[in-house]
Amino acid sequence: MTKQPKVVVIGGGTGLPVLLRGLKRHPLDLSAIVTVADDGGSSGRLRDSLDIPPPGDIRNVLAALSEVEPLVEQMFQHRFETENELSGHALGNLIIAALASITGDFVHAIQEMSRVLNVKGKVLPSANQSVILNAEMEDGTIVTGESAIPKAGKKIKRVFLKPDNIKPLAETLRVIAEADLIVMGPGSLYTSIIPNLLVPGIGEAVCRSKAKKLYICNIMTQMGETQGYTASDHVEALSKHLDSSCIDSILVNNKQVPGEVQARYDKEQASPVHFDIERLNSMGLEVLARDILSYNNGLVRHNTETVAKIIHSYMKSK
Q: Are residues 45 and 18 in the same domain?
A: no
Residue 313 has pLDDT above 60, yes or no: yes
Q: Is 150 a domain residue? A: no
pLDDT at 303: 95
- Spatial distance between the Cα atoms of 14 and 49, rounded to a whole number of angstroms: 24
Structural domain ending residue among the three candidates 92, 125, 158:
125
DSSP 100-122: HHHHS-HHHHHHHHHHHTT-SSE
Q: List all residues 6 or more positions away from 24 whose beta carbon is below 8 Å from its beta carbon.
A: 30, 64, 65, 67, 120, 121
pLDDT at 1: 57
Instruction: Please state the separation of Cα 107 from the chain's center in Å.
Output: 18
Average pLDDT over residues 232-261: 94
Q: Which helix (H) or strand (E) holds 220?
A: none
Q: Is 262 a domain residue? A: yes
Q: Is 302 a domain residue? A: yes
Measuring CA to CA, how many Å separate 273 from each of 112, 151, 227? 39, 20, 9
Strand order in the sheet with 142-144: 142-144, 132-137, 156-162
Q: Are residues 14 and 111 in the same domain?
A: no
Q: Is 81 a domain residue? A: yes
Q: Are residues 215 and 118 in the same domain?
A: no
Q: Is 82 a domain residue? A: yes
Q: Are residues 176 and 300 in the same domain?
A: yes
Please tell me the total count of domains within the chain: 2
Q: Are residues 180 and 65 in the same domain?
A: no
Q: Are residues 79 and 185 in the same domain?
A: no
- Pair type for strands 142-144 and 122-125: unpaired
- Pair type for strands 181-184 and 212-216: parallel
User: Given pLDDT bands bounded at 50, 70 and 90, which one contains residue 3?
Assistant: confident
We report the CATH number of the domain holding residue 256 as 3.40.50.10680
Q: Is 85 a domain residue? A: yes
Q: Whole-prediction pTM value? A: 0.94
Q: Are residues 114 and 218 in the same domain?
A: no
Measuring CA to CA, how many Å separate 193 from each of 84, 99, 100? 33, 26, 24
Residue 311 has pLDDT above 70, yes or no: yes
Q: Is 208 a domain residue? A: yes
Q: Are residues 79 and 192 in the same domain?
A: no
Q: Are residues 121 and 19 in the same domain?
A: no
| 3-state class (DSSP) for residue 289 | strand
Structural domain ending residue among the three candidates 104, 125, 146:
125
Question: Could you read off the pLDDT of 107-166 as tens digits, one per residue?
Answer: 999 999 999 999 999 999 999 998 999 999 999 999 999 999 999 989 999 999 999 899
Q: Are residues 185 and 305 in the same domain?
A: yes
Q: Is 311 a domain residue? A: yes
Q: Are residues 52 and 114 in the same domain?
A: yes
Structural domain ending residue among the three candidates 106, 125, 144:
125
User: Given pLDDT bands bounded at 50, 70 and 90, which one contains residue 298?
Assistant: confident
| Residue 41 structural domain | 36-125
Backbone angles phi, psi at 14, to 5 degrees: -85, -20
Q: Are residues 223 and 76 in the same domain?
A: no
What percentage of the chain carries pLDDT values higher than 70? 99
